[in-house]
Amino acid sequence: MPTSLDPQPAENEIECANCGAIFFYELTRCPKCGVNLYEPEDKDERNPESFKPHPAGLSAKIGNFFRQLTGKPHPAEELFNQSLKQAALHNDLLKKVGGDRETVERLIEFERQRLPNANRTIWLQNAIRRWEQDNQ
């Protein structure tokens, strides 16, 4: 008969000394409180106020200056903007077909087969154009 209401750890489990959570023994951090089980942490390291990001280097500042001067976006912005454009096109096509996701994917797949070397943005634009022509 158990003497405690709390379940005891199984053979392949351990108990966190910090919060008492029970978890698989091969983990290095407690999934509940995040404490490192095998290396002690400094109190300053866990304090978010002590974190200070390094200021951008001179080369980064010069690069940003020239990008602003020439009007070119940062490479990360180009990727992000492309994703936003694809999401907007996908949502537009989804509205046009009445919310049927299978139809959207079928239209995109049709365009992909017609132009296999194009990218998703072009497939979406072509699918919208074709749908609009077919449904005038």
Domains in the chain: boundaries: 10-52, 75-134
The answer to whether 38 and 26 are in contact (CB under 8 A) is no
Question: Is residue 57 over pLDDT 90?
Answer: no
Highest mean predicted confidence (pLDDT) among 53-57, 80-84, 88-92: 88-92
Cβ-in-10-Å burial (0-12, 13-18, 19+) of 104 comes to buried
- Say whether pLDDT at 106 is over 60: yes
pLDDT at 1: 45
Please tell me the predicted confidence (pLDDT) of residue 110: 94
CB of 35 within 8 A of CB of 47? Answer: no
